[in-house]
A and B are shown apart, each in its own frame.
Chain A
Amino acid sequence: MALMPKRVKHRKSQRGRIKGNASRGHRVVFGDFGLQTVQGGWISAATIEAGRIAAQQYLRTEGRLYIRVFPHKSVTSIPLETRMGKGKGEPDFWAAVVKPGTVLYEIGGVSEEAARMCFTRLAHKMPVRVRFLRRRPL
């Protein structure tokens, strides 16, 4: 099941802008290795789920996968062949807004080689360029 908030204050949100790099959520915290975005963008709930499935199918019973982003933003769209006007469209999907540097996923309990292989499979699902990250002691 794709991720979605349980309760929201407003059904629709404005587009917003992505400025600067991530100043939080840019370190590996829970696992041993992480997947960090190099670009900013919107990552839809379906994409996050696709990444999770790709990683979980590779990991199977080993290790643990952590998802570090959540789709808080509702994205609206208007039906095809609709005339201009008549207000904002209806919510279509939910997306996580990520700044460059945000850690998207983390893996713990596997070797670095396995984590790299897993993230390579996962990275193919992502709409942004990503890089491999290790946990840093200090």
Chain B
Amino acid sequence: MAEVLNVTFRETRGKHNAKRLRKAGSIPGVLYGHGEKNVSLAVPADQLDMLVHHGSRLVKLAGAVSESAFIRDVQWDTWGTHVLHVDFTRVSEDEKVELQVSVELRGEAPGVRQGGVVEQLIHEVQLECPAGKIPEKIVVSVNDLELHDSVTVADLKLPAGAAVPGDQTVVVVQCVEPVEMPELEAAEAVSGEPEVIGAKEEEDAAGD
């Protein structure tokens, strides 16, 4: 079920106005899609923070506009604590959207007890999914993962109507024997200097 977000129209533009808006407890945002006009919005910061931290992607906008929207992108500050800006796209619940969903491993692989190492090669998958059925994350159980076994994209358990486009044989997680790392060499003394672009040509020109 989509969460409700009370939004207001935003008349102001520019970074100074955006800063003022953030100080007042709102986050600047924009709504676009479906070939309709872009709408600049102001979203309450506390409501948006809660949504983002819970991993919700589908929201129901209320107030200035009333329609379902998909959180397309979120801009964060340097420290990852405050949302600076949010992008919404217009969607209907049955419409398919493309998004990146994180892949999370669960359980303990029997292969580890046999001396193997579990390697997660893909952390996020591109998912085509109806907007109403967007999963928070895709959970992969590694309880049956023996040594030299792997889980591919085709093995992922996706919600109904969802699909991962592209190559289905891509390995998501595998259990392999640990690779011996080469002996760490002591840092050699920096030998020489990097080549200076154009230096040789200048020398040649001076010699002539």
Contacts and interface: CB of A to CB of B under 8 A. Distances in A.
Interface of A: 1-2, 4-11, 21-23, 26-27, 32, 45-46, 49-50, 53, 56-57, 60-62, 91, 93-94, 100-101, 108-109, 133, 135-138
Contacts of B196: 7-11
Given A1-B188, A93-B190, A22 B78 contact: yes
A137 B73 CA distance: 11
Contacts of A23: 78
B166 to A, nearest CB: 20
Give the contact-size bracket for chain B: 20 to 34
Interface string B54-97: 01010000000000000100101011100000000000000000
Nearest to B180: A61
B117 interface: yes
12 contacts: A1-B188, A2-B190, A8-B197, A9-B197, A26-B78, A56-B184, A61-B179, A61-B181, A109-B117, A136-B80, A137-B101, A138-B57
B14 interface: no
Contact of B123 (A32, A46, A49): A32
A8 B190 contact: no
A27 B80 contact: yes
A4 B194 contact: yes
A46 B187 contact: yes
A90 to B, nearest CB: 9
B50 to A, nearest CB: 13
B40 interface: no
Contact of B178 (A61, A101, A133): A61
Contact of A45 (B55, B178, B190): B190
A138 B180 contact: no
B139 interface: no
A111 B161 CA distance: 32
Contacts, number: 81
A138 B119 contact: no
Contacts of A109: 117-120
A138 B71 contact: yes
Interface string B21-62: 000000000000000000000000000000010010100000
A1 B123 contact: no
Nearest to B178: A61
A94 B124 CA distance: 35
B187 A1 contact: yes
Given A23-B78, A100-B78, A53 B184 contact: yes
A133 B81 CA distance: 11
Given A8-B195, A62-B117, A138-B55, A2 B187 contact: yes
B86 to A, nearest CB: 10
A136 B190 contact: no
Contacts of B6: none
Nearest to A102: B78
B137 interface: yes
Given A7-B195, A61-B180, A135 B123 contact: yes
Nearest to B102: A137
